[in-house]
Structure 1
Amino acid sequence: MKGFVSEHYLGLNDHISGVGDADPAVFTKRLQELDSQLAKATEVYAATLLTHTTERGFRRCRKGTVRHLPEQA
């Protein structure tokens, strides 16, 4: 996911500084492609985390906190 974010940042930086593609349509299309790819990668990553944490006995208690569930006999 870092790759998508860095490509987005560099593309935006190049566009603002005038180094990148001069055509706004090409720039917009490229950013939309990157956003779409990042959204898909984020969904896969989130699903993986959800599966991994529930298999290991973790549960989300409040936003931003995770607690380990006690071992079941």
Structure 2
Amino acid sequence: METFLIFLQIIVSLCLIILILMQSEGAGVSGVFGGSGGFYRSKKGVEKVFVFLTIFLGFLFLVLSLLQVVI
């Protein structure tokens, strides 16, 4: 079971990395510190799907990490 959880976590983390790199929005590192209001605008189309999948995969990664600690 532990090996299966580790395998799932690796797959989820790779998908999360690829998904984050595919997102085109943002100004790189300067966007992190600059309080841009672009975060609050509405998302459309593929961008909306990318944001949803990023949140979902991040939550799944968190759950898998917690399961590894418990088991």
Structure with the higher helix share, 1 or 2: 2
- Higher relative contact order structure (alpha carbons within 8 Å, sequence separation ≥ 6): 2
Instruction: Point out the structure with max Rg over C-alpha.
Output: 1
The TM-score bracket by the shorter chain reads: 0.3 to 0.5
